[in-house]
Structure 1
Amino acid sequence: MKLVFLHSSDTHGFLMPTDYQDRNDYHAPFGLARVSSTIKSEIAKYGRDHVLVTDAGDCLQGSPLASYARTLPDYRGLAQFTAAYNAIGYDARCLGNHDFNFGLDYLNWYVNHNDAPIINDNILAAGTDRPAFGIPFKIIEKAGIKVGILGITTQYIPHWEQADHIAGLEFKSALTTIKHYAALLKPQVDVLAVLYHGGFENDPQTGQATEPDRGENEGYHILKEIPEVDVFLTGHQHRRLNEVVDQTALIQPGYRGEAVGKVILDIDEQSKKISKIETELVDTKAFEPDPAIVELVKQLDQGTQNWLDQPIAELSEPAPIKDAMTGRIHGAPFINLLQQMQLWFTHADVSATAVMSEKAKGFGKTVTLRDVILNYPYANQLVRVKFTGKQLKHVIEHSASFLEKTPEGTIKFLDRWIKPKPELYHFDVFYPVHYEVDLSQPVGQRVKNLTLHGKPLEDDKNYELAVNNYRANGGGFYPEYSLDKIDLALDKDYVQMFTEYLTQSSEKVDPKPNYKFY
């Protein structure tokens, strides 16, 4: 007998097959509407009583449609948004870290109007052992097989999220929590599945470390230390994984609904034991968008398109970026504009930013909301951090460690930041400091001729740095950052800030690069 899991994660509010760069292009190879068609096709093969449909979070934030839905009063947009996810027919879901980006009221409405149970073991009401959302587990019977489902979310959310978005919550380790619940639930079921909005700190097959083990991703330790888990349904890292490791099925289905993870268990009907495990990623691009989903979000999608085309500012000169990779290495007027804006709001001495979108094109003379969101798609908060000159140099040196120079003389990023998942949104550049980076030198000794307004940075002098809260709270494995160094946090998102800055500031865009890598 076959039992099939169909799993999505990290759809990030991409309900339709479009990235909203082109108003008329609905041919993108992803989106919840394609996920729905894929799941329906698979259910038709196996029968609904043999299939469990799951999701591992990060649904509420990430797309222009998700941003627009949030702007509508009385949760009208969120109601249409939630209806689309309900139409998939999920059996169980868990939350992702980005589901907290719009605050607790928004998240609670979404949780309370979900048809599927939200499984949550490690996000607790502070001072209690009770889940703050949803239920700690669910037992579902399919074709006579009892399936236990646990749900867990990366414990690292407090390092990224602003305080009022997680007030009254306590986040526990995924590893220790799943150990506890797996021991309790496994004796009651035939198959134990874990939904985990989190990824892998080590390669699942070789065990080789792929990032510092700081608690954000605990998947490898869960895989190796909790043999009770039969099916491990993950997300968060946007990776494409379908493997079987130590008799545990492992799935992660990429990003924006590009694939549906599929686990097929052959189960002996008499003993209820698993005799065979297969895993697969089913690419959704092969399936037409589900008309039912399209109809549910038609109004919301059209509203999004109209909203995105609103002009918000006219620039005296355009602020382009040729492409993300060229901009990172050689600089671009758009990057300088972003830095100037951060300094304008914070009055800091120095600003740091990354190129946040691989499709960033910067701004023409007329700037619309579409331009802003496509160049800066994250719901970050701007903060100001206090550093000594010595600490700031350490931070810049860390950024310089991302790069290498090939024997042919080409400057490139280390594979560590490209594979298994591109993470170049961690690579910061700094402004208005001028600096050079000599890639022939050892890591930690690469930054040369570092000056601010023509003067070298002083090791013992205090400086203020404008940077987003994700970085200030630890994102990117940078040294020196800590919560106690933050002395200002702005209660504005980047759409609001761009709108204010571009309409109120008289600053001209600095077109010149202020750094050089060689």
Structure 2
Amino acid sequence: MKLVFLHSSDTHGFLLPTDYQNKTDYNAPFSLSRVSSVIKAEKKKYGADHVVVTDAGDCLQGSPLASYTHSTGNYDDLYKFTEAYNAVGYDARCLGNHDFNFGLDYLSFYVDHNDAPIINDNVLDANTDVPFFGREYTIVERNGLKIGILGITTQYIPHWEPKENVAGLKFVSAFDRIKHYAKILRPKVDVLAVMYHGGFESDPETGKATEPHRGENEGYKILTEIPEVDVFLTGHQHRRLNLVAKNTALVQPGYRGEAVAEVVVDIDDQTKKITNMSTKLIDTKDYDPDPAVVEKVADLDKRTQAWLDQPIAYLDKPARIENAMKGRIEGAPFINLIQQMQLWFTKADVSATAVMSETAKGFDKTVTMRDVLLNYPYANQLCRVKLTGKQLRHIIEHSAGFLKKDKDGKISFIDRWIKPKLMLYHFDVFYPVEYEADLSKPVGERLTKLTLHGKPIEDDKIYHLAVNNYRAMGGGFYPEYSMDKIEMTLDKDYVQMFSEYLTHGDVQVDTKKNYKFY
């Protein structure tokens, strides 16, 4: 007997095959609508009574369509958005960290209107220690087989979200909860699957650490220390993974619905024991969008396109970034514009930002909503952080550690930040400090210059840094950041900030380069 798991994750509201950069292009090689077509084709291939369909979250935020849906303030639009996911036919789902970006009321409506059960084992009511959303597990029956499904998300969410978005919630270790529930559920079922909006802190095959073990990702610990888990359906890291390790099938299907992960489990008809498992990723680009999904959001999409074309500001000069990778290393007017805006809102001494999109092109003279969302797609908030000069130096040194220089003098990013997943949204640059880093020196000892307004940064002096809340709360493995250092958090997102800053008066974009790597 064959049992087939079909798994999606991190679709980020890309319901249709477009990234909204070109309003007439609906041929992008991803989308929930393509995911749905893959799932329906595989169900037809194997028979629906052999298939279990799951999703590991990060659905409410990330695309312009998702941003528009939230911006209307109309829950009828959120209902239509949710109905697109219902049209896929999921059997179980769990939540992702970005599903908390728009607050608990918004998320609760979404949870309540999902046809599939939301499985949640580690986001608890702080007062009662019971799951705040959904249920602890579900048991799905297929051809006389009982399949238990657990669901967890990364416990690191409070490090990224404003307090009001997680008020009354308690986030506990994914590992601890799966260890607890696996012992309860495994004796009741023939196959145990875990949906996890989280990834791997170490390589699943070699065990080599791939990031600091701080609790954001606990996949390797779960894989190696909880033998009850047969099928491990992951997400969060936007990686493409499919293998069988430690007698467990594990998968992760990338980003924006680029692939559906498939696990095929062979089970002995008599004993109901697993005899073999195989995994693969099915690219969705080869499948036409599912009309059932397209129909649900056609009106939302039409209104999104009109909303994106609205001009929100006019600049005297363009603020461009011709190439995201080059801009990170050499600087760009658009990066400076973000920094200037952050300083304007916070009155901080120094600003830090990353280039948030690999396709960022910056702004022409006319700035539309489309421009803002394509250049800064994350629902972050801006913070001001209090640091000593020594702490600020440590942070900038950490960022300089992302880079390497080859024997020909070419500067590029070390593999750690580009493989197995591109993570250059973690690479911050700083303004208006002037700094230089010698990449031939050891990491942590690279800064050869660090001044502010012509004066050296002093170790014991207090400085105020403008930076987004994701970083200020510890995201990106930087040293020195902690919640107790946050002095203020601006109650605006970056769309609101750009709209206000670019229209407050004459904005002169600084085109000077203030940092150098050599």
1:224-243 to structure 2, matched below 5 A, reads 224-243=224-243
Identity of aligned residues (%): 73
The separation in 2 between residues aligned to 1:325 and 1:265, in whole angstroms, is 42
Contact 1:69 1:76 in 2 (8 A): no
Q: Give the secondary structure class of the aligned counterpart of 1:15.
A: coil
Q: Give the secondary structure class of the aligned counterpart of 2:74.
A: helix
Aligned to 2:410: 410
TM-score (norm 2): 0.99
The separation in 2 between residues aligned to 1:135 and 1:424, in whole angstroms, is 36
Contact 2:315 2:507 in 1 (8 A): no
Aligned to 2:109: 109
Q: Give the secondary structure class of the aligned counterpart of 1:491.
A: strand
CA deviation map 1:42-92 (0-9, x unaligned):
000011111000000000000000000012233121111000000001000
Contact 2:6 2:262 in 1 (8 A): yes
Aligned to 2:389: 389
Q: Give the secondary structure class of the aligned counterpart of 1:408.
A: coil
Which amino acid counterpart does residue 237 of structure 2 have in structure 1?
A: Q
Aligned to 2:311: 311
Contact 1:403 1:414 in 2 (8 A): yes
Structural RMSD (CA): 0.6
Deviation at 1:8, TM superposition (A): 0.2
The separation in 1 between residues aligned to 2:281 and 2:247, in whole angstroms, is 18
Q: Give the secondary structure class of the aligned counterpart of 1:490.
A: strand
Aligned to 1:333: 333
The separation in 2 between residues aligned to 1:197 and 1:467, in whole angstroms, is 26
Aligned to 2:119: 119
Q: Give the secondary structure class of the aligned counterpart of 2:492.
A: coil
Which amino acid counterpart does residue 36 of structure 2 have in structure 1?
A: S
Aligned to 1:320: 320
Aligned to 1:92: 92
Deviation at 1:505, TM superposition (A): 3.6
Q: Give the secondary structure class of the aligned counterpart of 2:280.
A: strand
Q: Give the secondary structure class of the aligned counterpart of 1:492.
A: strand
Aligned to 1:83: 83
TM-score (norm 1): 0.99
Aligned to 2:493: 493
1:346-357 to structure 2, matched below 5 A, reads 346-357=346-357
Aligned to 1:180: 180
Structure 1 residues not aligned, in runs of 5+? none
Aligned to 1:206: 206
The separation in 2 between residues aligned to 1:405 and 1:449, in whole angstroms, is 18
Q: Give the secondary structure class of the aligned counterpart of 2:449.
A: strand
Q: Give the secondary structure class of the aligned counterpart of 1:266.
A: strand
1:13-92 to structure 2, matched below 5 A, reads 13-92=13-92
The separation in 1 between residues aligned to 2:74 and 2:309, in whole angstroms, is 23
Contact 1:68 1:77 in 2 (8 A): no
Contact 1:10 1:256 in 2 (8 A): yes
Aligned to 1:445: 445
Contact 1:317 1:509 in 2 (8 A): yes
Deviates more, 1:454-463 or 1:332-341: 454-463
Which amino acid counterpart does residue 410 of structure 2 have in structure 1?
A: T
The separation in 1 between residues aligned to 2:131 and 2:442, in whole angstroms, is 48
2:378 counterpart of 1:378: yes
2:10 counterpart of 1:10: yes
Deviation at 1:127, TM superposition (A): 2.6
Which amino acid counterpart does residue 232 of structure 2 have in structure 1?
A: F
Aligned to 2:301: 301
Q: Give the secondary structure class of the aligned counterpart of 1:252.
A: strand
CA deviation map 1:477-504 (0-9, x unaligned):
1111111110010010000000000011
Aligned to 2:507: 507
Contact 1:251 1:279 in 2 (8 A): yes
Aligned to 1:420: 420
Which amino acid counterpart does residue 371 of structure 1 have in structure 2?
A: D
Deviation at 1:436, TM superposition (A): 0.6
Pair 221,41 (structure 1): closer, same or farther in 2 beyond 3 Å: same
Q: Give the secondary structure class of the aligned counterpart of 2:502.
A: helix
Q: Give the secondary structure class of the aligned counterpart of 1:19.
A: coil
Contact 1:342 1:351 in 2 (8 A): yes
The separation in 2 between residues aligned to 1:485 and 1:266, in whole angstroms, is 53
Deviation at 1:420, TM superposition (A): 0.9
The separation in 2 between residues aligned to 1:394 and 1:24, in whole angstroms, is 46
Aligned to 1:139: 139
Contact 2:129 2:170 in 1 (8 A): no
Contact 2:58 2:99 in 1 (8 A): yes
Aligned to 1:454: 454
Q: Give the secondary structure class of the aligned counterpart of 2:192.
A: strand
Which amino acid counterpart does residue 45 of structure 1 have in structure 2?
A: K
Contact 1:232 1:248 in 2 (8 A): yes
The separation in 1 between residues aligned to 2:430 and 2:331, in whole angstroms, is 10
The separation in 1 between residues aligned to 2:342 and 2:134, in whole angstroms, is 38
Deviation at 1:225, TM superposition (A): 0.2
The separation in 2 between residues aligned to 1:75 and 1:306, in whole angstroms, is 19
Contact 1:238 1:252 in 2 (8 A): yes
CA deviation map 1:266-314 (0-9, x unaligned):
1111100011101010000010001111111100111110000000011
The separation in 2 between residues aligned to 1:2 and 1:460, in whole angstroms, is 65
The separation in 2 between residues aligned to 1:256 and 1:507, in whole angstroms, is 35
Structure 2 residues not aligned, in runs of 5+? none
Deviation at 1:441, TM superposition (A): 1.1
| Moved >6 Å (runs of 4+) | none
Deviation at 1:442, TM superposition (A): 1.2
Which amino acid counterpart does residue 157 of structure 2 have in structure 1?
A: I
The separation in 2 between residues aligned to 1:331 and 1:314, in whole angstroms, is 22
